[in-house]
Amino acid sequence: MQIKPSLLILACTAWPAFAQQQPQEQPLSAIDWLAVPQNAAPVVVVPEANPVAQSATVPEVEVQSLDAPGVGGVGLLPGSVTGLPPSLWRGSSESDLIAALDLLQIRRPSVPALTGLLHILMLAEAEPPSSAAGDAFLNARVNLLYRHGLVPPAEALMERVGVLTPQLFDLAFDLALLTGTDEALCAVLSDAPNLSTDLPTRIWCATRSGDYSHAITIYQTGVALGQLSDLDTELLLRFLDPEYAEDAEPMPPPVRPTPLQFRLFEAIGEALPTTPLPLSFAVVELSGDSGWRAQLQAAERLARAGAIDGNQLLGVYTAQKPAASGGIWDRVDALQRFETALTRGTPDAVSSALEQVWPQMRAAGLLVPFSNLFASRLQGLSLSERAETIAATAGLLSDGYESVAQDLAASPDPNLAFLASLARGQKPTRIPADVPHAAALAEAWSDTAQAPGELAGLPGQNRLGEALLSAIRNFDAGASGNDAELTEALRALRAFGLEDTARRAALQLAILDMEGARR
């Protein structure tokens, strides 16, 4: 089975290339379910007791593609793109998978390579767990994307579902409120009122269709029956009665507003800043309607989380010239100066600008996006000694890390030589003292890749997705100090055919930890 390299650009976001190869397996048969043991018991077909039609009524027939994954397995990325098998989740317990995804909602993977892998798993088209009884697994997948800031892809995934359940409608509506596409879902709710009993949602949708009298009736009924929270009661009153809102004191902002409350604050002229809010709200600021500074902050947050790619970040960085200094403006200025120097190609100017911008990107946690944008253009330039080391480090963090490593194999710098060995998939001969987790990283390439005992058998049980989620969690535990788990996680990724992901993760962990110590 081949896991094909691809540039995954979906809606308004993109992910790093996913280039790996699965080890070849011997198929039991051309069609798996034809591989019946020789001593298997014969199949006995019991005829129906009364095989006669009881009615001439034509039954309703549901039509579905033979290879359709079902609601729980709907995805944006087919197996032909990801190389992942359709049985990715089939053999796993739905409750176990949901529990694992709930944990990963709260804490993202520790390196971008594994964040990208996780997002691909969530977007992959594959069969749901055989134990799945509804849309809970799909809901967990979309929720993870939502919490990680991948709002447009999550919304696109929901659009593939077709008929929404009330639970999926609530999630789809939250996504649509953040992208500004909620009017279409309000029309859906108008045709199928049973999809939501949430009164603020029904009031909002009534106003979207211009039926203010109906919106006020719902509001008054909700207040009379005590079905609205104090916050929603006041917020909706100001929304429905602009004259009252003009004379009222500004409302204190809630700590964790819902997307609808966020939009209501915006509608009454008290827009909430997104910086202190969960990551998904940052998507609202990408339009630039709230000013360039807010757009910059949002783009940086989303790029750190792997929710947008470097090109989108660069577009925001270079949209204008900074008119102030300090903080984010110094970072924008340094990036713009570096890009100008790189375009002109003067080595001294490039060296100076690179030495200035690298610490700025490091402080912002944006070294990987920066490296993917510029590392290839730095290779081969005649740079200062310090700038040359930065260029080599950026190259190892970039998509072209393997070709960069070829030129660093004989580097006199022991740290770069160590990293170059990892980048080429070879066990380093020397373990430098100042590379974090160096021994554990080297050990992962000490012999033929083999997953630890508890994970090794999972792919054969149609539980590859579960095994990959476990490897991600084990890597994070290793990054926090458990070197044995770090080695096992990398070996598991290699054994499952994700050699490229394993190398990227190892390089990113070592380099980002080293750079973090220099702050």
* pLDDT score, position 70: 59
Residue 364 sits in the same domain as residue 487: yes
- Residue 514 and residue 470: Cα distance in Å, rounded? 26
Q: Please, are residues 268 and 239 in contact by the beta-carbon 8 Å criterion?
A: yes
The greatest distance separating any two alpha carbons of the chain, rounded to the nearest whole angstrom, comes to 90
- Residue 93 and residue 342: Cα distance in Å, rounded? 52
What does the mean pLDDT of the chain come to? 87
- Residue 173 and residue 154: Cα distance in Å, rounded? 11
Q: What is the pTM of this model?
A: 0.86
Confidence of residue 138 (pLDDT cuts 50, 70, 90): very high
Helix (H) or strand (E) holding 376: helix 367-378
38 or 146, which is more confident: 146
Residue 420 sits in the same domain as residue 287: no
At a CB cut-off of 8 Å and minimum separation 6, what does 121 contact? Answer: 84, 88, 465, 468, 469
- Residue 390 and residue 378: Cα distance in Å, rounded? 10
Residue 292 sits in the same domain as residue 339: no
**100 lies in some domain:** yes
Residue 163 sits in the same domain as residue 253: no
Residue 464 sits in the same domain as residue 351: yes
What is the per-residue pLDDT across 376-430, written as a single tens digit (0 to 9) for each?
Answer: 999 989 999 999 999 999 999 999 999 999 989 888 999 999 999 999 999 998 8
SS3 content of the chain, % helix, strand, coil (to 5): 60, 0, 40
Show the tokens assigned to 168: 């999926």
Residue 506 sits in the same domain as residue 455: yes
Cα–Cα–Cα angle for 27, 30, 33, rounded to 5 degrees: 90
Mean pLDDT of 180-193: 95
Q: What is the CA radius of gyration of the chain?
A: 27
What is the per-residue pLDDT across 420-444, written as a single tens digit (0 to 9) for each?
Answer: 999 999 999 889 988 999 999 999 9
**59 lies in some domain:** no
Mean pLDDT of 319-326: 92
Residue 392 sits in the same domain as residue 246: no
Cα–Cα–Cα angle for 47, 52, 57, rounded to 5 degrees: 135
**214 lies in some domain:** yes
Helix (H) or strand (E) holding 354: helix 347-363
> Residue 368: pLDDT above 90?
yes
**58 lies in some domain:** no
Residue 177 sits in the same domain as residue 247: no
Lowest mean pLDDT among 17-26, 146-155, 477-486: 17-26
Residue 278 sits in the same domain as residue 336: no
**478 lies in some domain:** yes
Classify strands 2-3 and 20-21 as parallel, antiparallel or unpaired.
Answer: antiparallel
Q: Does residue 443 sit in helix, strand or coil?
A: helix
- Residue 322 and residue 180: Cα distance in Å, rounded? 29
* pLDDT score, position 266: 96
Residue 349 sits in the same domain as residue 238: no
**Amino acid letter at 519?**
R
- Count of CA atoms in the C-beta half-sphere (13 A) of 241: 14
**290 lies in some domain:** yes
Which of 138, 170, 194 is the last residue before a domain boundary? 194
Residue 289 sits in the same domain as residue 155: no
**144 lies in some domain:** yes
What is the per-residue pLDDT across 232-290, written as a single tens digit (0 to 9) for each?
Answer: 999 999 999 999 999 899 999 999 999 999 999 999 999 999 999 999 999 999 999 99
* pLDDT score, position 433: 87
What is the per-residue pLDDT across 485-500, written as a single tens digit (0 to 9) for each?
Answer: 999 999 999 999 999 9
**288 lies in some domain:** yes
- Count of CA atoms in the C-beta half-sphere (13 A) of 21: 2
Q: Please, are residues 151 and 179 in contact by the beta-carbon 8 Å criterion?
A: yes
Share of the chain above pLDDT 70, in %: 86
Q: Does residue 140 sit in helix, strand or coil?
A: helix
Mean pLDDT of 97-108: 93
What is the per-residue pLDDT across 155-169, written as a single tens digit (0 to 9) for each?
Answer: 999 999 988 999 999
- Residue 142 and residue 149: Cα distance in Å, rounded? 11
Give the number of domains in the chain.
3
* pLDDT score, position 132: 81
DSSP string, 33-54: GG---TTPPPP-PPPPS--S-S
Confidence of residue 38 (pLDDT cuts 50, 70, 90): very low
Q: Whole domain around residue 85: which residue ranges? A: 2-17+70-194
> Residue 20: pLDDT above 80?
no
Which of 261, 276, 309 is the last residue before a domain boundary? 309
Mean pLDDT of 300-309: 96
Q: Please, are residues 303 and 366 in contact by the beta-carbon 8 Å criterion?
A: yes
* pLDDT score, position 107: 87
Residue 99 sits in the same domain as residue 246: no
Which of 172, 194, 216 is the last residue before a domain boundary? 194
Query: How far is residue 252 from each of residues 240, 249, 284, measured CA to CA in Å?
Result: 19, 9, 21
Q: Please, are residues 391 and 379 in contact by the beta-carbon 8 Å criterion?
A: yes
Q: How many CB atoms lie within 10 A of CB 212?
A: 12
